[in-house]
Amino acid sequence: MLEETMLEKKVWAVVGANQRQEKYGNMIYRKLKNKGYEVYAVNPVYDEVEGDKCYKDLSSLPKVPEVINMVVSPKRGKAFLDEAARLGVNYVWLQPGTHDDEIMKQIEDLGLKAVQACVLVATI
């Protein structure tokens, strides 16, 4: 199953990670980190998340992630998907509310593999 394949990957980027602990971007970042994943925060608004460096885009990361977890609106997610494809990222985890028909078509057109599920539930 694709979901299991992605969870076996150990290098993730959380697009939309943020500093507010009650927000999903922060909860997902913390949970992946606590589960032993090498996880990078991506959000152009912040310099750090949970005491770790936060990157403005995927190209700025010190390592190409195996999976990107999208915690941004479909409108904001489009550019990150194009960037992921350019970098050779194959897997996209779409949190509830981060996808629409346009995003799904873009993922298909770029040849990416995507899961639509809440990673907080999947990694328990």
Task: Give the pLDDT of residue 50.
Answer: 95
Q: How far apart are CA 118 and CA 71, in angstroms?
A: 10
Task: For the chain, list residues with pLDDT below 50.
Answer: none
Q: How far apart are CA 119 and CA 124, in angstroms?
A: 9
Task: Give the pLDDT of residue 9.
Answer: 97
Give the residue carrying structure tokens 């509310």. 97
Cβ-count burial of 63 within 10 angstroms (0-12 exposed, 13-18 middle, 19+ buried)? exposed
Task: Give the pLDDT of residue 49.
Answer: 97
Report whether 20 contacts 45 (CB < 8 A): no
Task: Give the pLDDT of residue 124.
Answer: 54
Q: pTM higher than 0.75, yes or no?
A: yes
| CATH, range 2-122 | 3.40.50.720
